């Protein structure tokens, strides 16, 4: 043993039912445990092509430039914004939680003229509100979060996107918590740029951020007046690697890509619609069980995410203590509230492998015990 006296890791088994990361299928972990091949090995290049093909299907897009950025969801967010936003651009950001706020903060760092459409945490952004903001502000870019993980709210993109398309603004959509869990239609909705993450409803560990740029987004990048203010996220350089030229840019995290490949393969084997339905079924079971326990949702029925459930902490209960008990006694992780919702809600994730009736039942039984 070295003088540091450190033992090998003994990683605890958890049932992850929080806001992510989510449970990962064994076959994904198996693939990720294989020895790396070179990131320019012909085998890896063909695997990259399959990942791109499968991602297009999962995003429901024909965008050629669809690939996983190396990094977590925030890396994909940064990728979209550094390429598409120039100083002084008027950018309208919809904010109803932490992640809309993060997009606005990032756009400010890029020198954009940021305008916000803010609604209270726990409410959704609605078509009449967006229409008014678009008419008043005439933004060049609109950025929205589809599934606001901090509150469990779904913004109704099917109703908001036609307004953005009519306005002619470039549309950036955060699909971090929606992709693979609820319907996402990048082409049908006229989304120009989107970013997601592997550790939510895709069901792989964190580390990659699938992104997709429309031909219009690529054209906007090519016509920039200013340089892209990033080297790592420069989409033209990344296109050199993920496109057909295969020019070295950075060393792609091979094993994360093995995992993503298997996760996407499993999604397509299950079928997108079956997967969305499975997430919904798990939600229905949770809803019934929570009501039997006398617990209430924080979010309204019609805009509630099936994969991320914000539940009110019962009056007088110490939410952190109960969460700790769930983890210590039952090995189950659920999430706390963030920002103004700290101490007031729990966030129960039903994502990927966690969106199964047996997981919901285990959580409900354990929750009943800790609430006694
Ligand atoms: N956007 C949303 C909606 C998220 O839920 C998250 C993370 O939870 C992010 C962006 C940032 O992703 P990451 O934590 O993987 O960087």
Query: For residues 74 and 58, what is the distance between their CA atoms, to the nearest angstrom?
Result: 20
Closest ligand 1 atom to residue 148 Cα is 3
Going 64 to 67 to 150 to 356, the CA torsion angle's sign is: positive
Annotated binding-site residues read 347
- What per-residue string of b and e applies to 175-214 under the rule 16 or more CB within 10 Å gives b? bbbbbbbbebebeebbbbbbbbbbbbbbbbbbbbbbbbbb
Cα-based torsion angle of the residue sequence 300, 303, 307, 311 in order, rounded to the nearest 10 degrees? -20
Predicted ipTM? 0.99
Q: What is the DSSP string of 308-335?
A: EEEEEPPTT--HHHHHHHHHHHH-EE-E
Output the CA–CA distances (angstroms, integers) from residue 38 to 3, 42, 47, 197, 252, in the order listed: 34, 9, 12, 24, 9
CA atoms within 13 A on the CB side of 315: 1
Q: Is 150 in the pocket of ligand 1 (CB under 6 A)?
A: no
Query: For residues 266 and 353, what is the distance between their CA atoms, to the nearest angstrom?
Result: 11
Average confidence (pLDDT) per 10 residues, the chain, 372 residues: 88 98 98 97 97 98 98 98 98 98 98 98 98 98 98 98 98 98 98 98 98 98 98 97 95 98 98 98 98 97 97 95 98 97 97 98 98 94
Closest ligand 1 atom to residue 77 Cα is 10
CA-based nearest residue to 194, from 180, 215, 214: 214
Predicted confidence (pLDDT) per residue in 271-299, tens digit: 999 999 999 999 999 999 999 999 999 99
For 304, phi and psi rounded to 5 degrees? -85, 140
Closest ligand 1 atom to residue 72 Cα is 15
Partners of 349 in the β-ladder: 308
Q: Is 283 in the pocket of ligand 1 (CB under 6 A)?
A: no
Predicted confidence (pLDDT) per residue in 209-253, tens digit: 999 999 999 999 999 999 999 999 999 999 999 999 999 999 999
Query: For residues 84 and 57, what is the distance between their CA atoms, to the nearest angstrom?
Result: 24
Please count the other Cβ atoms lying within 10 Å of the Cβ belonging to residue 27: 13
How is residue 73 written in tokens? 């969801």
Annotated binding-site residues for substrate read 347
The pLDDT of residue 42 is 96
Q: Is 145 in the pocket of ligand 1 (CB under 6 A)?
A: yes
The pLDDT of residue 2 is 78
The pLDDT of residue 135 is 98
Which residues, 6+ apart, have CB-to-CB distance to 59 below 8 Å? 66, 175, 179, 184, 186, 194, 196, 210, 212
- What per-residue string of b and e applies to 122-154 under the rule 16 or more CB within 10 Å gives b? bbbbeeebbeebbeebebbbbbbbbbbbbbbbb
pTM: 0.98
Q: What is the DSSP letter of 129?
A: H
The pLDDT of residue 1 is 60
CA-based nearest residue to 298, from 186, 160, 152, 195: 152
Ligand 1 centroid–CA 205 distance in Å is 13
Query: For residues 320 and 337, what is the distance between their CA atoms, to the nearest angstrom?
Result: 10
For 178, phi and psi rounded to 5 degrees? -90, -35
């Amino acid at each position: 043993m070295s003088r540091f006296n450190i033992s090998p890791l003994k990683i605890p088994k958890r049932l992850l039912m929080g806001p992510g990361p989510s449970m990962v299928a064994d076959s994904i972990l198996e693939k990720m445990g294989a020895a790396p091949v070179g990131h320019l090995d012909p085998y890896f290049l063909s695997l990259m092509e399959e990942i791109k093909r499968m991602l297009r299907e999962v995003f429901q897009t024909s965008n050629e430039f669809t690939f996983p950025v190396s990094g977590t969801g925030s890396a994909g967010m940064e990728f979209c914004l550094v390429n598409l936003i120039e100083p002084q651009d008027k950018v309208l950001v919809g904010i109803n939680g932490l992640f809309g706020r993060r997009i606005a903060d990032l756009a400010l760092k890029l020198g954009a003229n940021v305008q916000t459409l803010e609604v209270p945490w726990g409410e959704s952004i609605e078509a009449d509100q967006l229409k008014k903001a678009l008419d008043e502000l005439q933004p060049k870019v609109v950025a929205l979060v589809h599934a606001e993980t901090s509150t469990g709210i779904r913004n109704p993109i099917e109703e908001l996107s036609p307004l953005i398309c009519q306005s002619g603004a470039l549309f950036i959509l955060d699909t971090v918590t929606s992709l693979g869990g609820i319907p996402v239609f990048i082409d049908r909705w006229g989304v120009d740029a989107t970013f997601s993450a592997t550790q939510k409803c895709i069901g792989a560990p964190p580390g990659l951020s699938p992104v997709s740029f429309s031909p219009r987004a690529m054209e906007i990048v090519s016509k920039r007046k200013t340089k892209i203010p990033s080297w790592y996220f420069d989409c033209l350089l990344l296109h050199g690697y993920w496109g057909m030229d295969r020019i070295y840019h950075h060393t792609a995290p091979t094993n994360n890509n093995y995992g993503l490949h298997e996760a996407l393969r499993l999604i397509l084997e299950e079928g997108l619609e079956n997967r969305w339905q499975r997430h919904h079924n798990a939600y229905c079971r949770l809803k019934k069980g929570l009501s039997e326990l006398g617990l209430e949702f924080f979010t309204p029925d019609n805009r509630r995410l099936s994969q991320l459930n914000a539940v009110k902490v019962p009056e007088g209960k110490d939410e952190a203590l109960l969460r700790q008990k769930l983890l210590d006694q039952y090995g189950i992780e659920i999430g706390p509230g963030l920002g103004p919702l700290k101490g007031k809600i729990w966030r129960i994730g039903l994502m990927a492998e966690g969106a199964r009736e047996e997981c919901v039942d285990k959580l409900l039984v354990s929750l009943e015990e800790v609430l006694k």
